[in-house]
Chain A
Amino acid sequence: MKLTVTVNGTDHTREVEPRLLLIHFLRDGLGLTGSHWGCDTSNCGACVVWLDETPVKSCTVLAAMADGHRVRTVEGLADGGRLDPVQEGFTQCHGLQCGFCTPGMMLTARWLLDHNPSPSEAEVREAISGQICRCTGYENIVRSVLWASRNGG
């Protein structure tokens, strides 16, 4: 089937199998390998991207479902050359180690701060609780998001 998805502001039209998952469409079809895949069961959140205005687990969305919609990935987080405060926060607060969960965590954090510019620690933990990080014990991810909220949102 043929579909058109607007990814980070650019339209992409492709012929795909109906069963193709959005994560594979992004990674293999468009070469946007910043979004990762980490489980078979929608548990880990390494694949989180935005579908229109909402974070979704792109391993659990068919590419076909994104037809005619907008997708935002980690590659679209920075505004031109300017890093998003969330990206700055993850660097300043050592919010990543291996970096595998990081794109998904940052996209969820971006959504949280858009809707709740000054979250409490508990609200940050709640927001990322559908995602797994095996490296940081979450401490510095939480600090990174709080840093971003204090430094430009």
Chain B
Amino acid sequence: MIGVREKYEGNGAYGPLTRKEDARFIRGRGTYVDDIKLPGMLHAAILRSPLAHARIVSVDASAARAHPRVEAVITGADLAERGLAWMPTLSADVQAVLATDKVRFQGQEIAFVVAHDSYAARDAIELIAVEYDPLPPVSDATTALDAAAPLVRDDVPGKLDNRVFDWTAGDKAATDEVFAGADVVVGCDMVYPRSHPAPLETCGIIADFDAVRGKLTLWSTSQAPHAHRTIYATLTGLPEHKIRIVSPDLGGGFGNKVPIYPGYLCAIVASMATGKPVKWMEDRSENLMSGSFARDYHMHGEIAASAAGKILGLRASVLADHGAFNATAQPTKFPAGFFHIFTGSYDLRAAFCEVTGVYTNKAPGGVAYSCSFRVTEAVYLVERLVDVLARRLGVDPAELRMRNLLRPEQFPYTCPTGWQYDSGDYPRALRLAMDMAGYAELRREQADRRARGDYMGIGLSFFTEGVGAGPRSHMDILGLAMADGADLRVHPTGKAVLAISVQTQGQGHETTFAQLVAGELGLSPDEVEVVHGDTDQTPFGLGTYGSRSTPVSGAAAVMAARKVRDRARIVAAAMLEVAPDDLEWAEGTWRVRGDPEKALGIGEIAMAAHSSIELPAGVEGHLDASAVYNPPNLTFPFGAYICVTDVDPDTGEVAVRRFVAVDDCGVRINPMIVEGQVHRGLADGIGMALMQAIVFDEAGNCLGGSFMDYLLPTAKECPSYELGATVTPSPHHPVGAKGVGESATVGSPPAVVNSVVDALAPLGVVHADMPLTPASVWRAIQGRPLRPDLAVE
């Protein structure tokens, strides 16, 4: 890695430590949900709708119930009797658990079969007879608001159209005025296609209801076990303290494991009904077809500038396809997530956006997929527009960005739509990326190649994210504020156990969080055990998504450790028979000012704190402490990316030759883990830009329901990445960290698209929608951009 390396904080505990969790994984000894086998456990499978939109005439499960290996079949009618046929979504809409009236998307849940083995459960779903009365589907968001459009949500009293919400941000009048006075205005229509996080492990659950103890235990693929527990308590009527959720090792999440899916609730009902543990694991098609899509934004953006290339204003209007139920996971106040951060990294006068959400006959979900609450779409919009503007002005896109980036002295900076960016040095990051890439030399090479008829592209993007949601005064999920707790226990021998509310899906919390605590207490990371993913053992918090673990839960861990340190100071003072004020914290010890020989480490202090040593009145002994962290603001990581591609104009094939990525996520606790997170996001960007899309045909059939159709990048499509770093600490985070989990997923797609469009510039191509498959690049070359949300032209 190249870059500006600033000294690692944390008393030497920070740095590229290899991970504690690896020991079990490299031996095949992880424990994922599907690895757990309970005595007497039953296996479930779900019957799903083959149609996108149809009235259900009848469901006959008698043959399935008669199957010798089947223990129970649950239908929508059975759930309706218990008042559980519908459940709330994370956006305060409702979603059918098992369909009773209509099916509203292909893959919707109809019946839940519980059998003695998973093969029998699959056999039995084939025995269920469902009679449908097909209805015309809404398969294209752009027609969802037409007067003649079929009504998706006739279950909602008084609902007469397919509108979910209308939402605006920014100052329309001021923006219009800026546009009216601008020398240059350019615009572009662009689609951010429907995508899916597709973690390698699908979603699943084991529900185990113990009727004697009245306790429900759930082993669940959950990124947010505490929030889930509260929701299950509300749904089932079970008291919350009688619900325990264990989210064991997770095989990736990326947002897919934030929501509660119908299968989870069915497994709970089935366990309560049968008195036995019930396991349900999705197969891959179910995963891709039925839950947690991402993106699906149809955007029109415009950018206004002076003739000299000063960006003045931005406006956007967006049609958001929310599928059949509004099940996006996002702070209540923000139906379009944080999309209104679309002013990006630039100093401009005014901006305005309007977003309309619509229902269609597609799977619910939304937001999910490492998008930082829709910052992904926002960054794509502004970064494409800046390139379109550069083309119009005849200015190099790097030069145009450099001219308009916010300057370091402008921070903290309040953008025209109200976000307050905490810190940044944007030109430094862009310069570093350009130096690493050899930008001027690349442009020369491109000119030479163009002269020879080759199509080489150089694409840039500069992104600013807002992560670490969020301040509790205006960010919540279903009324639960987005604060997180941490409990830190220090045992008599000075070894510590940290219990956190967030759940790793591969991010390495067991290592990073140990480093955080070790850095505060002068311990080695080996002396700190991190407990997570079990609601009976950890404090409440909203979970891991939106890059919020380090910014929020990490901050809570540090605050708890600082409380421990403060208590240790009082004990140390008693031990040394001095006043606490006479002590200073240095080199991981409390020592007497001016007498460094008299120093005590946490180990010695902890033993004394548990002993009979006399402590000042009011001091209870022990060192344990808890904290709840309510972030004062989001943190704002940023970065500069440069992608070099080679395009074959005859086949439309794109090869990514180089990817330079400079990230500034503030202080890096474990830079090795940070870089790993960036690698993943760059692969996401290549995938989304070049191949990933969940598309539908006119009948509402999902054409992306397997890994044969929903293409993910392999090692061959990905180059060896070139990473750089700058470090601009967050001024309000206790160790200056900003979070990085989603940065590259957010920042990289526009770099790839800008690169391909740049390659095709000699052919007059100004824009082409993702995914830039060979077919769609070829069409763009022919002047016929393909609408990627429709499989047919």
B284 x A39 contact (CB < 8 A): yes
B676 x A97 contact (CB < 8 A): yes
Residues of A within 8 A of B30 (CB): 34, 99-100
Q: Which residue of A lies closest to B709 (CB)?
A: A41
Contact (A91, B200) CB under 8 Å given A33-B35, A100-B252, A138-B714 = no
B673 x A36 contact (CB < 8 A): no
B27 at the interface (CB under 8 A from A): yes
Q: When chains A and B are docked, how far (Å) is the Cα of A138 from the Cα of B199?
A: 15
5 contacts between A and B (CB under 8 A): A91-B18, A94-B19, A94-B672, A100-B252, A139-B720
Residues of A within 8 A of B681 (CB): 137
B285 at the interface (CB under 8 A from A): yes
Residues of B within 8 A of A131 (CB): 714
- Beyond contacts A31-B37, A136-B679, A141-B715: 7 other A-B pairs, Cβ-Cβ < 8 A, are A36-B200, A39-B706, A91-B22, A94-B676, A98-B251, A99-B506, A136-B683
Q: When chains A and B are docked, how far (Å) is the Cα of A40 from the Cα of B200?
A: 12
Q: Per-residue CB proximity of B672-689 to A under 8 Å, as 1/0?
A: 110110011111100000
For the residues of B in contact with A, the DSSP-based class is loop
A52 at the interface (CB under 8 A from B): no
Residues of B1-44 whose CB lies within 8 A of A: 18-19, 21-32, 34-35, 37
Residue from B25, B505, B507, B720 in contact with A102 in the complex, judged by beta carbons closer than 8 Å: B25
In the assembled complex, how far is the CB of residue A96 from the closest CB belonging to chain B, in whole angstroms? 6
Q: When chains A and B are docked, how far (Å) is the Cα of A140 from the Cα of B676?
A: 7
B201 x A138 contact (CB < 8 A): no
A136 x B22 contact (CB < 8 A): no
Give the contact-size bracket for chain B: 35 or more
B119 x A19 contact (CB < 8 A): yes
Contact (A125, B252) CB under 8 Å given A98-B199, A134-B199 = no
A90 x B200 contact (CB < 8 A): no
Residue from A73, A83, A130, A142 in contact with B720 in the complex, judged by beta carbons closer than 8 Å: A142
A68 at the interface (CB under 8 A from B): no
B252 x A129 contact (CB < 8 A): no
In the assembled complex, how far is the CB of residue A98 from the closest CB belonging to chain B, in whole angstroms? 3
B27 x A78 contact (CB < 8 A): yes
For the residues of A in contact with B, the DSSP-based class is loop
Most buried by B among A20, A40, A73, A90: A40
Q: Which residue of A lies closest to B504 (CB)?
A: A98
B26 x A32 contact (CB < 8 A): no
Residues of A within 8 A of B673 (CB): 94
In the assembled complex, how far is the CB of residue B656 from the closest CB belonging to chain A, in whole angstroms? 11
B254 at the interface (CB under 8 A from A): yes
Q: Which residue of A lies closest to B31 (CB)?
A: A33
A48 at the interface (CB under 8 A from B): no
B361 at the interface (CB under 8 A from A): no
B707 at the interface (CB under 8 A from A): yes
Q: Which residue of A lies closest to B673 (CB)?
A: A94
B249 at the interface (CB under 8 A from A): yes
Contact (A137, B679) CB under 8 Å given A83-B26, A99-B251 = yes
In the assembled complex, how far is the CB of residue B753 from the closest CB belonging to chain A, in whole angstroms? 18
In the assembled complex, how far is the CB of residue A19 from the closest CB belonging to chain B, in whole angstroms? 7
Most buried by B among A19, A27, A136, A142: A136
B27 x A34 contact (CB < 8 A): yes
In the assembled complex, how far is the CB of residue A149 from the closest CB belonging to chain B, in whole angstroms? 16
Q: When chains A and B are docked, how far (Å) is the Cα of A129 from the Cα of B276?
A: 42
Residues of A within 8 A of B507 (CB): 97
Q: Per-residue CB proximity of A99-131 to B under 8 Å, as 1/0?
A: 111110010000000000000010011101111
Count contacts on A: residues with CB < 8 A to the other chain: 59
Contact (A98, B252) CB under 8 Å given A132-B712, A135-B506, A137-B718 = yes
Residues of B within 8 A of A99 (CB): 21-22, 24-26, 30, 249, 251, 506
A43 at the interface (CB under 8 A from B): yes
A71 at the interface (CB under 8 A from B): no
Residues of B within 8 A of A92 (CB): 18
B213 at the interface (CB under 8 A from A): no
Q: When chains A and B are docked, how far (Å) is the Cα of A27 from the Cα of B680?
A: 28
B707 x A39 contact (CB < 8 A): yes
Residue from A39, A43, A74, A94 in contact with B28 in the complex, judged by beta carbons closer than 8 Å: A74
B721 at the interface (CB under 8 A from A): yes
A46 at the interface (CB under 8 A from B): yes
Q: Which residue of B lies closest to A125 (CB)?
A: B715
Q: When chains A and B are docked, how far (Å) is the Cα of A133 from the Cα of B673?
A: 16
Q: When chains A and B are docked, how far (Å) is the Cα of A104 from the Cα of B21?
A: 18
Q: When chains A and B are docked, how far (Å) is the Cα of A24 from the Cα of B676?
A: 31
In the assembled complex, how far is the CB of residue B14 from the closest CB belonging to chain A, in whole angstroms? 16
Q: When chains A and B are docked, how far (Å) is the Cα of A136 from the Cα of B29?
A: 20
Residue from A41, A77, A141 in contact with B707 in the complex, judged by beta carbons closer than 8 Å: A41
Residues of A within 8 A of B707 (CB): 39, 41, 43-44, 132
Contact (A33, B28) CB under 8 Å given A41-B706, A96-B22, A139-B720 = yes
A17 at the interface (CB under 8 A from B): yes
Residues of A within 8 A of B35 (CB): 27, 33
Q: When chains A and B are docked, how far (Å) is the Cα of A45 from the Cα of B202?
A: 14
B283 at the interface (CB under 8 A from A): yes
Residue from A24, A33, A46, A96 in contact with B26 in the complex, judged by beta carbons closer than 8 Å: A96
Most buried by A among B119, B679, B708, B715: B715
A135 x B680 contact (CB < 8 A): yes
Contact (A137, B200) CB under 8 Å given A36-B251, A75-B28, A100-B251 = no
Most buried by B among A31, A101, A132: A132
Residues of B within 8 A of A98 (CB): 199-201, 249-252, 505-506
Residues of B269-295 whose CB lies within 8 A of A: 283-285
Q: When chains A and B are docked, how far (Å) is the Cα of A38 from the Cα of B28?
A: 15
Residue from B22, B29, B198, B708 in contact with A41 in the complex, judged by beta carbons closer than 8 Å: B708
Q: When chains A and B are docked, how far (Å) is the Cα of A18 from the Cα of B251?
A: 30
B284 x A97 contact (CB < 8 A): no
In the assembled complex, how far is the CB of residue B755 from the closest CB belonging to chain A, in whole angstroms? 17
Residues of A within 8 A of B250 (CB): 98
A58 at the interface (CB under 8 A from B): no
The 7 closest A-B pairs by CB, nearest first: A34-B28, A98-B506, A99-B25, A100-B251, A97-B506, A137-B683, A137-B679
